[in-house]
Structure 1
Amino acid sequence: MLLDLQASHLGIMREILQRYVPHWEVWAFGSRVRGMARPSSDLDLCILSEEPLAFHLLSQLRDSFSSSTLPFRVDVVDWAITSDSFRKIIEENKIVVQKGQDKEMVGVDFETS
């Protein structure tokens, strides 16, 4: 599976994730993973937290994506408060975009369009 993002957009996403949630694994899912994205399609991210993320942290993360130069919306999901049925949907088509704990980024294949 490929993550349908330009290299510059991938860099912006990684920088924001490292700033706010460096200790958690993060998955991308949705149309940008399934190969069905349009240029304006949103980017769906899931933060793999065991406990619900603090409201202010999640708010800052979302605000940072909103005010970034990314030309599309980024939706952030907190795994800890996600229903079992939605978790199954996420797990079916996901790409790890950030490892947890060691703050390393995963080498992600992406579209070059």
Structure 2
Amino acid sequence: MLDLRPKDLTLLHDLMARHLPAEVAVWAYGSRVNGNAYEGSDLDLVLRTPDLAALPAGRLSRFREALTDSNLPIFVDTHDWALLPESFHPRILARYEVVRPGVPALAVPA
């Protein structure tokens, strides 16, 4: 279970809704998922597009800026899955929590 106060999780969901496309999934990993967080621990997030391609230019930086400008009492370390070294992926896949599943892109009929 994600170690985050309910009001902070609500704010995080609001920021995601305002600053990320609906199809982008957001996963938490690290100490706030592993159960070894303390009050000042940061929150580690990774953003994943449906095709695992990089987010559109500027999208990640605007989301990071919104997090910094928000009233969240912790630092949120946010990464784009596509831009992380592949060697880091297994560490996240070993233990993560889906914060937002993302909405699958609509299939276009042939």
- TM > 0.5: yes
Unaligned segments of structure 1, at least 5 residues: 103-113
Greater shift, 64-73 or 49-58, is seen at 49-58
Displaced runs of 4 or more, over 3 A = none
Which has more radius of gyration? 2
Match for 1:10: what amino acid? L
Corresponding residue pairs, total: 101
2: CA distance between counterparts of 1:26 and 1:59? 15
Greater shift, 24-33 or 46-55, is seen at 46-55
**How far apart are residue 55 of structure 1 and its match?**
3.2
- Cα RMSD for the two superposed structures: 1.1
Deviation digits for residues 37-93 of structure 1 (CA, Å, limit 9, x no counterpart): 111110011101222112311111000000111111001110111112111101111
1:72-91 correspondence runs (5 A): 72-91=74-93
Q: Which structure is higher in RCO with an 8 Å CA cutoff and minimum separation 6?
A: 1
> Counterpart of 1:8?
7
2: CA distance between counterparts of 1:51 and 1:19? 21
Unaligned segments of structure 2, at least 5 residues: 105-110
